[in-house]
């Protein structure tokens, strides 16, 4: 309906006012900064398959994380085409490896009895439950990026909804398969402890153990020639799987890091274009035509957030909570904007609508937005109450942002009033 950069900040701008739009955009920037830091921070453990020091030394892993952010910062300054090539290339490889894991798991380790035994009904404390839900929101990193790219997309009214639907279906199918394989190879306790930092690597480790090349070849094929070929193929797969998973996970996280940078550049450009932040943040590079100042500035903040990784390896949990703080606020305002727009502009053309609407006073009200708004508001409150780091850093970020926003707007109005109120003589105007 509004194919422009800004995502939820754009929705809030059309639905409410400048201040609400800024709050949504500033919370969204916090989400992207945390996304960049989280994703970059978790790349090195998977690359530890190739360089063990990355698993053994927090300092080495943190340095590499910072290097990834710096590299992607340069790529995004150069342009969206180059940034998209990185994402598309990594995504193709990811899907191929994930499909391979699901197929091998279905053939080699899937066991309904084992799966059923590993699915244990467990009810955590209320605090852990809602914090878990909030942290699980990290899995949706990148969803907002689709909306951010609408302004630069051909036929956005058709392609943006299609991209969202295709993403949802792909993620559900692939990771339902991977979760099934995972619970067929190990218990949830093993996944949450021994393999907490690299769960997919744990799944593949157990999958590799289940591959016994010669025995399987003899079982599947009676011909000796076929057995030799199958044995060779299975041996190669068993040896290559851990390396492929290391590359798979690293590339997925690289995509998420890059998605954060793409999102930051677009939402900052929107805020600058609306006059909500100092114009320098929306400055477009004369050659590359990208908001390079914003990309560099917020990338630097993400790098600073990685510094605790040198001495506090559990910083990931704090970053996850910070992401959830910004995401819950942003999604709450997005849902609220949809509801407000249904009332404010009921006749506006809507190229795509989710079903499950009901009418109140002639206005269509989407049930999904009501539920989304209530749930995200509740999750946000739980985070603020229970998570000290998210509470103070998140609220501090919002207070500083609003302070800059109101100061900038006041100064802008003050200068504007001064110019309009200054009397100008005929000779002055001629000059």
The confidence score (pLDDT) of residue 426 equals 35
Overall average pLDDT of the 364-371 stretch: 90
Contacts of 281 (CB under 8 A, 6+ apart): 268, 271, 272, 291, 293, 294, 297
Number of domains forming the structure of the chain: 1
Say how far apart CA 42 and CA 56 lie, in whole Å: 14
Query: What are 1's two structure tokens?
Result: 């309906």
The confidence score (pLDDT) of residue 421 equals 55
In a domain, 65, yes or no: yes
Exposed / middle / buried, residue 109 (Cβ in 10 Å: 0-12, 13-18, 19+)? buried
The confidence score (pLDDT) of residue 429 equals 39
Say how far apart CA 321 and CA 50 lie, in whole Å: 30
Helix (H) or strand (E) holding 357: strand 357-360
- 32 or 227, which is more confident: 32
Say how far apart CA 322 and CA 229 lie, in whole Å: 51
Quick check: 43 and 69 in contact, CB under 8 A? no
Quick check: 39 and 249 in contact, CB under 8 A? no
Say how far apart CA 404 and CA 391 lie, in whole Å: 20
In the predicted model, is pLDDT for residue 422 greater than 60?
no
Give, to the nearest 10 degrees, the angle between helix 224-273 and helix 8-15: 40
Per-residue pLDDT of 321-335, as tens digits, reads 888 899 889 999 999
Overall average pLDDT of the 404-429 stretch: 65
Average pLDDT, the chain: 83
In the predicted model, is pLDDT for residue 314 greater than 80?
no
Contacts of 119 (CB under 8 A, 6+ apart): 183
Overall average pLDDT of the 104-110 stretch: 83
Q: Annotate 104-157 with three-state secondary structure.
A: HHHHHCCCHHHHHHHCCCCCCCHHHHHHHHHHHHHHHCCHHHHHHHHHHCCCHH
In the predicted model, is pLDDT for residue 49 greater than 80?
no
In the predicted model, is pLDDT for residue 272 greater than 60?
yes
The number of CA neighbours under 13 Å toward the Cβ of 4 is 16
Overall average pLDDT of the 369-393 stretch: 88
In a domain, 2, yes or no: no
State the residue range of the domain holding 311: 8-422
Quick check: 275 and 412 in contact, CB under 8 A? yes
How many helices, marked H, and strands, marked E, lie in the chain?
19, 2
pTM here is 0.81
Quick check: 43 and 253 in contact, CB under 8 A? yes
In a domain, 427, yes or no: no
In a domain, 50, yes or no: yes
In a domain, 329, yes or no: yes
Q: Annotate 359-419 with three-state secondary structure.
A: EECCEEEEHHHHHHHHHHHHHHHHHHHHCHHHHHHHHHHHHHHHHHHHHHHHHHHHHHHHH
Find, among 39, 49, 29, 72, the residue nearest to 306 by Cα.
39
What's the angle, vertex CA 246, arms to CA 61 and CA 35, rounded to 5? 55
In a domain, 429, yes or no: no
In the predicted model, is pLDDT for residue 427 greater than 50?
no
In a domain, 431, yes or no: no
**pLDDT band at residue 419, thresholds of 50, 70 and 90?**
low
Per-residue pLDDT of 188-205, as tens digits, reads 888 888 787 777 778 888
Overall average pLDDT of the 63-89 stretch: 84
In the predicted model, is pLDDT for residue 12 greater than 70?
yes
Q: What is the CATH number of the domain that holds 243?
A: 1.20.1740.10
In the predicted model, is pLDDT for residue 306 greater than 80?
yes
The confidence score (pLDDT) of residue 431 equals 37
| Cβ atoms < 10 Å from Cβ of 353 | 13
In the predicted model, is pLDDT for residue 259 greater than 80?
yes
In the predicted model, is pLDDT for residue 375 greater than 80?
yes
In a domain, 428, yes or no: no
């Amino acid at each position: 309906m509004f194919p422009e950069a800004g995502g939820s900040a754009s929705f809030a701008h059309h639905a409410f006012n400048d201040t609400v739009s800024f709050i949504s955009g500033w919370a969204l920037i916090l989400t992207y900064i945390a996304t960049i830091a989280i994703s970059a921070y978790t790349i090195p453990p998977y690359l530890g398959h190739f360089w063990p020091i990355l698993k053994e030394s927090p300092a080495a892993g943190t340095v590499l994380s910072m290097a990834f952010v710096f590299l992607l910062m340069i790529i995004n300054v150069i342009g969206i085409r180059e940034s998209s090539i990185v994402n598309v290339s990594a995504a193709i490889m990811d899907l191929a490896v994930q499909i391979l894991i699901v197929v091998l798991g279905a053939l080699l380790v899937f066991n309904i009895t084992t799966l059923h035994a590993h699915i244990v009904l467990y009810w955590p404390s209320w605090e852990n439950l809602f914090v878990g839900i909030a942290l699980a929101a990290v899995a949706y990193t990148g969803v907002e990026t689709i909306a951010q790219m609408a302004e630069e997309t051909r036929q956005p009214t058709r392609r943006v909804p299609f991209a969202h639907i295709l993403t949802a279906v792909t993620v559900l199918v692939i990771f339902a398969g991977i979760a099934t394989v995972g619970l067929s190879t190990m218990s949830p306790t093993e996944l949450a402890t021994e393999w907490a930092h690299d769960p997919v690597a744990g799944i593949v480790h157990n999958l590799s153990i289940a591959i016994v090349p010669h025995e399987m070849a003899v079982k599947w094929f009676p011909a000796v020639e076929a057995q030799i070929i199958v044995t060779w193929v299975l041996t190669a797969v068993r040896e290559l799987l851990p390396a492929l998973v290391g590359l798979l996970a690293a590339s997925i996280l690289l995509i998420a890091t890059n998605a954060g940078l793409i999102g930051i550049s677009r939402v900052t450009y929107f805020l600058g274009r609306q006059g909500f932040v100092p114009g320098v943040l929306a400055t477009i590079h004369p050659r590359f035509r990208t908001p390079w100042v914003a990309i560099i500035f917020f990338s630097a903040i993400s790098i600073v957030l990685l510094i605790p990784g040198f001495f506090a390896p559990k910083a990931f949990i704090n970053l996850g909570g910070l992401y959830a703080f910004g995401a819950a606020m942003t999604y709450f305002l997005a849902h609220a904007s949809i509801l407000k727009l249904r009332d404010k502009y009921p006749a506006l053309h809507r190229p795509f609508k989710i079903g499950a609407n009901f009418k109140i006073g002639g206005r269509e009200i989407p049930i999904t937005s009501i539920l989304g708004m209530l749930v995200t508001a509740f999750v946000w409150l739980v985070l603020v109450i229970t998570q000290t780091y998210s509470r103070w850093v998140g609220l501090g970020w919002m207070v500083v942002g609003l302070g800059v926003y109101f100061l900038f707007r006041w100064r802008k109005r003050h200068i504007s009033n001064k110019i309009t109120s200054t009397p100008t003589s005929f000779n002055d105007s001629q000059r």
